[in-house]
Every structure is written in C-alpha cells, then in structure tokens.
Amino acid sequence: MLKTISKRELWLSVSYPTHRGGIYCKEGQCWRCAGTEQCDAFQAFHINPSLVQKFLKPLLIGELAPGEPSQDRDKNSQLVEDFRTLRKTAEDMNLFRASPLFFSLYLAHIIAMEALAWLMVSYFGTGWITTLILACILTTSQAQAGWLQHDFGHLSVFKKSSWNHIVHKFVIGHLKGASANWWNHRHFQHHAKPNIFQKDPDVNMLHIFVLGESQPIEYGKKKLKYLPYNHQHEYFFLIFPPLLIPVYFQIQIISTMIKRRFWADLAWAISYYMRYFITYIPFYGILGSLSLLTFVRFLESHWFVWVTQMNHIPMEIDCEKHKDWLSSQLAATCNIEQSFFNDWFTGHLNFQIEHHLFPTMPRHNFWKIKPLVKSLCAKYGVQYEEKPLGKAFVDIVGSLKKSGDLWLDAYLHK
C-alpha cells in the first residue's frame, strides 16, 4: 500500500526511486518515475547525492516487492553501466567543477548591459531610435539573465546547493522578476521526462498545438478540433513566440507565487519591478515604462521560444516508453553546431544533449564531454543528432506542419 498524500505534498514531490525497491517523493510529482529504477536521474539532479540520501527516509512512501511488474527489463544493462562509467570519467576529469571567472564575467556583461541602457536614455533622451536600441539592449540582458539563472537553477555553479539556490533567487527574481520555485518545479519535470506527454509540462500545449506523431492521430480519430491544426505551423508565429513570456508565463508565475505562498520569490520579483520603474518612470512615465517593459518581454519571448524549442519539438514526442536515461534523453533532444555566437546566443543550449545527460555540469565544459558522449552513442546505435542553427529553426515549423497534416488525415479519414 502506498501512503496517501495531499495536493500540497504532490506539488512539492517528485519520485526519485534510488533503487528498484523504494519510491521516494521530492520536488515534483510522485507518479512520474514511480516503479522504475531511477539511479541515473537521481545522480543527474543532485550535486551531493550522499547528503540527499540522509533526507530520503522520511520521504519513503512505498516499497516494490521483488515480484512486482518492472518497467526496467527491456533496458540494455551494459549501456546503462557504460553510461555510469562515462559519468565517472567526467567526474575524474573535473568537468563538474565550475569556472568562477566564466560566471563572474557572464554576470558582469548582463549588469553592463543594464547600465548601458540607463546611460543611453540619460544622455540621448527618449526618441524612437534611442528607445528601440534601448529595448534591444534590455531584451539581450533579459535573455542572457535567463540563461544564467538556468545555470544556478541546475546547481552547476557552486559546490554547495544552498549557494546556488540563493544566487538563483537573485538572478531570476531581481534581474528578471520571476519565481525560482515556479521554475524549479516546471523545469525539473521537463528534465526528468523530456517530451513525454502528461509528464513533461513543456509539451502540454493546452490543445493549441498537437505535437509528435501519436497525439495528432489520436486527436484526429476522436474528431477533436479545438483549432485548425493543419494550419498550426502558420498560427505558431502569431501565438507561441510573441505571447509565451509576456502573457502565459507572466500569468502563471504571478498566480503560482500567490497560490503557493512563495513569498520570498514574490519579494524578489517585486524588487525587480521596483528597480525597473524607479529607473525608467522619470524618462517615460508610468504608461511609457509599462509599454517598454511589455515590448521587451515580447522581443525576449521570440528569442526564448526559438532557442528552447529547436532542441525538442522536432524530436520524438510520445507517451512513456520506459527507456534508459541515455536513450530517453537522446530521443528527445538534439544539438546545434558550435560557434562562439551559438554558444552565447543559446546560453550553451546548443549542447542540449550533454546538458540533459549531465544537468549539473557547468556549461563551459560541455564541449569537453561531447566526443565521449558521441562515442558511447555510436557504440550502441543511439542517434546523436546535430544540425545548423538555421535548420533547427526551420525544423520547428516543419515538425508542426507534419503533425498538423497527420491530424487532418486522421480527422478526415479515420
């Protein structure tokens, strides 16, 4: 029998079964990994697993008997062992050790852009050209702060989790006006089960889009037509990039902080808005400052959507198939070719494969582990996909069109 848990506990829980016999709940939803061996997922998300083990006993909600059905029997045990050897190799190479200089300079260039924006409006006034350049600078600052908070959120900068959490709240709260707890809850579900329906919130499209191959056919057979999905590759440009951050995320973040009583996150977010309006109201007034902020969010949303979706939407999106850690992450992610611009523009999410396999690894080390990951994939016939940045953007639209066509065919003929 499993322990009954409340909605509050469900919000705070995610299953991290460290061995086949035990199901533990922490920071997600218990049913996401329950009943499967999750050593690799557990290892991936914690920078000090031995410390975390001490807190697992009170979180134990059930035991799987030896005779219980297992989802792990079809996994390649040798592949699993070789991946764990690869992780040990990465540890021996000190690839989980962050460079203080890298992250210090990264934060400095964000603060420099914020200062430059203020200096511009101070010296050149509020003309249209100045305001447009100002908006582009602030958009760049916000996008880069988004990539930086991602680093701290994944505990990939400091050796102690607590230091990462503190700076994470500062970056995502004071520099961006968002919630660390909201981001953690959402993003770690995505990492644990990428592109898995009902487990990855990033593929919950609220009936606005249909993704992959199975979902559009299912919708078509059931004659579900919330929107004309055969045109989703066209209305994507009107709905997804322009509205995700300024509308959907803003509503979700604010409502989550209030409903879940994340008062510390709310205080950090308020500090961002206070700083912003104190800086720009003297130049643009209340309405003008609000319009500028909305425009910046609008521009940032385009940047964010294209970068974050290029690695996932064109890949396999389906129901749970209980694959091993390496295979499940490679099926759902792809890489973008490396260049200085691509590294900076995407926040090193052009190394999405390495990031998903080793989320606590500092991003400046991804290029070092990449050849070893490719070698392991080649050994076991696991597809390692890498493409140019432009093709990755085109593939998003192409994937949406393919899914829409599958829906239309099923809707009309099945």
Span 360-398, pLDDT tens digits = 999 999 999 999 999 999 999 999 999 999 999 999 999
Span 81-90, pLDDT tens digits = 999 999 999 9
Helices within 69-227 (DSSP H only): 77-92, 100-124, 128-153, 161-169, 180-192, 214-221
Residue 163 has pLDDT above 80, yes or no: yes
Residue 248 is given by DSSP the state I
In the structure, what pLDDT confidence band is assigned to residue 58 with cuts at 50, 70 and 90?
Answer: confident
Span 233-243, pLDDT tens digits = 999 999 999 99
**CA–CA dist 226, 235 (Å, integer):** 13
**CA–CA dist 369, 363 (Å, integer):** 10
Helix H or strand E encompassing 387: strand 386-387
Residue 25 has pLDDT above 90, yes or no: no
Helix H or strand E encompassing 298: helix 263-309
Q: What is the pLDDT of residue 346?
A: 98
Comparing 342 with 21, the larger pLDDT belongs to: 342
**CA–CA dist 63, 385 (Å, integer):** 38
Return contacts of 366-373, CB within 8 angstroms, 24+ apart: 367/338, 368/93, 368/95, 369/86, 369/90, 369/93, 369/95, 370/335, 372/86, 372/89, 372/90, 373/86
Within 10 angstroms of residue 111's Cβ, the number of other Cβ atoms is 12
Structure tokens given for 188: 């770690």
Within 10 angstroms of residue 44's Cβ, the number of other Cβ atoms is 21
| Widest Cα–Cα separation across the chain | 74
- What residues form DSSP beta bridges with 25? 15
In the structure, what pLDDT confidence band is assigned to residue 329 with cuts at 50, 70 and 90?
Answer: very high
